[in-house]
Amino acid sequence: MTRLGFLACADTLPGDGPRRGDAFEHDLEVAALRPALAAQGLELEEIDWRAPIAAFDGIALVMLGTAWDYQDYPDEFIAKLAAIEERGVTVCNPPAVVRWNADKRYLDELAQQGAVIVPTLWRRDLGRAGVQDAMAHFATDRVVVKRQVGAGGIGQHSFARDSLPDDSWTMGCPCMVQPFLPSVVEEGEFTYVFIDGAFSHGVCKRAGPDDYRIQSLYGGYETPYTPDARDLAAAQAVVAALPFEPLLYARIDMVRLPSGTLAVMEAELIEPYLYPEQADNLGELVARAVRARLPGGS
């Protein structure tokens, strides 16, 4: 069988060590992909992205999988992907895509292509005064501050006028500031999964009772979601605005603005969870797209 790699990190891989609270998502995704890939003559192997480069000998294609700590080591991660690619391994999604997508300033490029994005301020760092300035800029009483290179809601903060950070607080890294959108809590965040450029399935992600963040790490949960034609067209327009040929996978996360328009929260092209439990045939779609990317594939 042709061997494929599914990249992970130490605390998403199964084993004896402690695992992240959302590592069950790694297990769900592998369980959805492995049988469908095997039916195409493809053997899926879980590999720590920090494994020695020799671990990729004989691997034909690598998916970025659940390398969910890459944001703390972006340069090292991209260099490793480039080294894997130099050995003749197909990397999905490619290092050039990762380099573009790792810094969330890509949102400005999407906006220049006509995509609607959540209003955003970019800052090299941020303190209490900067939070207040952002509230004034957006004419809002609540903002969300995120790492410019980050993932999974880690290191994210929400501040309101009555819960400002201390004078000594700083974000400590390049960051982005956005107005808090009530629709995230009231309606949820909408996810659109695309495989090989074609829409696969939708998911509505909701926050749990004790947090505004929708990731499972913070009590968030998901339900199936069938978008109407207008909302699906909005997500498809984002995919069309990407400066790449159709990718093996893309996850577009969107939220509704007060105007009712859907806006891009994230275009997840690196290691997005693809919500296989909300899809009927994710494994088969991915398997066909992977096969087409291998030598002699069709």
% the chain with pLDDT above 70: 98
Amino acid of residue 73: Y
Q: Record the pTM.
A: 0.94
CATH at residue 31: 3.40.50.20
Number of structural domains the chain divides into: 3
- The residue behind tokens 């090292």 is 76
Kindly state whether residues 140 and 187 are assigned to the same domain. no
| CA dihedral sign of residues 164, 167, 168, 174 | positive
Final residue of a domain: which of 179, 196, 215? 179
- Distance CA(298)–CA(285), nearest Å, equals 13
Kindly state whether residues 265 and 287 are assigned to the same domain. no
Kindly state whether residues 206 and 113 are assigned to the same domain. yes
Kindly state whether residues 43 and 88 are assigned to the same domain. yes
298 within a domain of the structure (yes/no): no
Residue 125 phi/psi, 5° resolution?
-160, 175
Kindly state whether residues 259 and 111 are assigned to the same domain. yes
67-100 residue pLDDT tens: 999 999 999 999 999 999 999 999 999 999 999 9
At CB < 8 A and 24+ separation, what contacts does 92-98 make? 92/61, 92/62, 92/63, 92/64, 92/247, 92/248, 92/249, 92/290, 92/293, 93/64, 93/247, 93/248, 93/249, 93/269, 93/270, 96/244, 97/244, 97/247, 97/269, 97/270, 98/64, 98/269, 98/270
Question: Residue 129 belongs to what domain range?
Answer: 121-179
Kindly state whether residues 156 and 67 are assigned to the same domain. no
223-236 residue pLDDT tens: 999 999 999 999 99
